[in-house]
Structure 1
């Protein structure tokens, strides 16, 4: 590699290192693929004949790209979570607005009834019913009137009580609406912050890749593919595939059919189809097409869906990746998943063990007891 080209590549790596260091505190970026074995690591020096980046330099680029795209994936799920909360809060605000409208209409009717009662009293000479009753000379009229007065008292008290309760309800609805509005505004800010993080990391990754020449990008792609193959081979060498014999349910087959039909469509963060998807957008829409609504984000899918042992995995189950549950794919059988990988890639199939497995969850969990994984239990992770 020429001095200028080597300088550009070094500068690009420095820039993206800085971006990664400036990531949100507490966020862990696990490498999605293991580093190459020391015995196979080529010399760090560039080839004089080609002037291209050395394998060691490209391996450093690969690791840095993995970190950047992993950080973008984490931020994408933060964005998706904020988006889902905003939808729920908006719906709640609509319901509260409807309650306020109905409550106000009810209060207006009650006020009309109170006004009608006051007008009737005015037409009676302005005397209250008790006073008119005391002036009566007819004993029977007095007795009949006493019953009507008691009924009138009860009706008036009921009317006043209902008006008071309605006014209290309106005040509570207004307070709830204000709280929902504050949450919606906080969610808007969280969503904007996540979007900024996504765009910053993707831009840094693109800058790093653009510093490579075509031949270097091709070698980098081969490095990435070999790293994934090594991880998948290590996973399969445990003999795990021989134990995975689960059969898909009818809904599971529908979800798999939907997901695999999206192969070739581009990854786009925050997308739920039909033209593009992110990882959890693909899995949530696949199961929605099968008639089963599931959480939108990979973290929520991990937290809320039933966990099953990896050995009990069946087509349609969701494989959750990385310690922070920031990626998800759908198991389709034969040790393979379908997933939306990352920006710049398309929906594709991959080895289920090509990334670090956190666990497996089942959207269409039934009442049967899976081997070694009672309801609510976490999966075995030594196979992943």
Structure 2
């Protein structure tokens, strides 16, 4: 078996094992075992317990990483708008060049008409045929003058329209440049906030001792399991029986293949992802492009009831739609959690669910 197939098989086995546990309602999870204190030397006072309140540390870390994720969504949205505006400016620049070439051609035509009039002695065609003594020439001249007037009017109209188009293109380009500049500033501000939040979180975690880090990780895991258990105990999973569409199956297959890859804010593969980078790329691979950010996925995609969700649907979390995951069935999701974590399987109810959206509705 090739390396790629072995990797995919391993990922699939991981998902199956995980959802078997995650789909079991009523599962009890033990509280962390207290760490006994020790004395450095006989007769010495016992070492005091850790001064840090780990629950407060966890709450603060959650806030920092949540704020970083909100800023990441803002960064990604500004990035998408920047790409769109850059493409629009390029298209407008092309139209401006084409319009200038068209206007130059029309000016040349007008110049040629003026030169022809000069060669006839400066008299306009109307005056020339009116002064003629030849009746046939008069009749022929009348048609020529009429055609000439029509051609002149058409030329003037084309020049006027082309000049108006050029003015519109220039104004549109100017507006797009202003939007581009605004979104570049928005990107820079979001990037700064992301780095500040992540740096503060990493600094806070670095101050913990190894045992405290282990206890903190256990607290996080237990909180997620508790939330998942409460969600399952509502009986909701008995109602969730939807089967994946063909495109949904392809999206799940892509997401499964990314298990273990690191979370990096602003990333959309192939080696790392943020939460919406993973879901948007999964559905792009399935042939159904979706908005880049979790907030736009929530705004633009069709909402479905939780009881009607099926594998491939996107589960949106928190009141501000700042996180997104892909439902893979049996009460489980695949998502890119946060900085310092990797793409993983989790319980669909392990975080506060805002709602569910379907890309291929």
Cα distance in 1 for residues equivalent to 2:252 and 2:154: 60
Q: Does 1:117 align with 2:116?
A: no
Count of aligned residue pairs for this structure pair: 324
Identify which of 196, 199, 204 aligns with 2:200: 204
In the TM superposition, what whole-angstrom CA distance separates every residue of 1:283-341 from its partner, at most 9, and x where no partner exists?
00000000001000000000000000000010000000000000000000010000000
* TM-aligned CA distance change 1:46 to 1:145, over 3 Å: farther
Identify which of 123, 127, 131 aligns with 1:127: 123
Match for residue 166 of structure 1? 162
Match for residue 377 of structure 1? none
Cα distance in 1 for residues equivalent to 2:88 and 2:172: 9
Partner SS for 2:53:
helix
Alignment check: 8 A CA contact 1:310 1:359 kept? yes
- Larger mean CA deviation between 131-140 and 260-269 belongs to 131-140
Alignment check: 8 A CA contact 1:46 1:53 kept? no
Q: Does 1:157 align with 2:158?
A: no
Cα distance in 2 for residues equivalent to 1:78 and 1:119: 60
Cα distance in 1 for residues equivalent to 2:112 and 2:312: 65
* TM-aligned CA distance change 1:84 to 1:284, over 3 Å: same
Identify which of 165, 183, 186 aligns with 2:182: 186
Cα distance in 1 for residues equivalent to 2:136 and 2:338: 90
Alignment check: 8 A CA contact 1:80 1:297 kept? yes
Match for residue 212 of structure 2? 216
Identify which of 62, 66, 69 aligns with 2:65: 69
Cα distance in 1 for residues equivalent to 2:228 and 2:208: 27
1 or 2 for the larger relative contact order (CA 8 Å, sep ≥6)?
A: 2
Cα distance in 1 for residues equivalent to 2:93 and 2:49: 64
Partner SS for 1:358:
strand
Cα distance in 2 for residues equivalent to 1:128 and 1:277: 73
Match for residue 279 of structure 1? 275
Partner SS for 2:259:
coil
* TM-aligned CA distance change 1:236 to 1:213, over 3 Å: same
TM-score when normalising by structure 1:
0.82
Q: Does 1:258 align with 2:292?
A: no
Match for residue 50 of structure 2? 53
Q: Does 1:78 align with 2:102?
A: no
Unaligned stretches of 5+ residues in structure 2: 1-30, 39-45
Deviation, 1:51, is 4.7
In the TM superposition, what whole-angstrom CA distance separates every residue of 1:205-243 from its partner, at most 9, and x where no partner exists?
001000001111111111110010000000000011111
Deviation, 1:167, is 0.5
Deviation, 1:161, is 1.0
Cα distance in 1 for residues equivalent to 2:338 and 2:360: 26
Match for residue 142 of structure 2? 146
Cα distance in 1 for residues equivalent to 2:357 and 2:294: 10
TM-score when normalising by structure 2:
0.87
Deviation, 1:65, is 0.5
Unaligned stretches of 5+ residues in structure 1: 1-39, 366-384
Q: Does 1:229 align with 2:228?
A: no
Cα distance in 2 for residues equivalent to 1:208 and 1:239: 38
Cα distance in 1 for residues equivalent to 2:49 and 2:200: 21
Deviation, 1:199, is 0.3
In the TM superposition, what whole-angstrom CA distance separates every residue of 1:267-298 from its partner, at most 9, and x where no partner exists?
00000100110000000000000000100000
Superposed, which structure 2 residues align to 1:278-317 within 5 Å? 278-317=274-313
Match for residue 99 of structure 1? 95
* TM-aligned CA distance change 1:316 to 1:50, over 3 Å: farther
Match for residue 132 of structure 2? 136
Alignment check: 8 A CA contact 2:32 2:215 kept? no
Superposed, which structure 2 residues align to 1:28-43 within 5 Å? none
Match for residue 8 of structure 2? none
Deviation, 1:53, is 2.1
In the TM superposition, what whole-angstrom CA distance separates every residue of 1:313-372 from its partner, at most 9, and x where no partner exists?
10000000000000000000010000000000000010000000000000000xxxxxxx
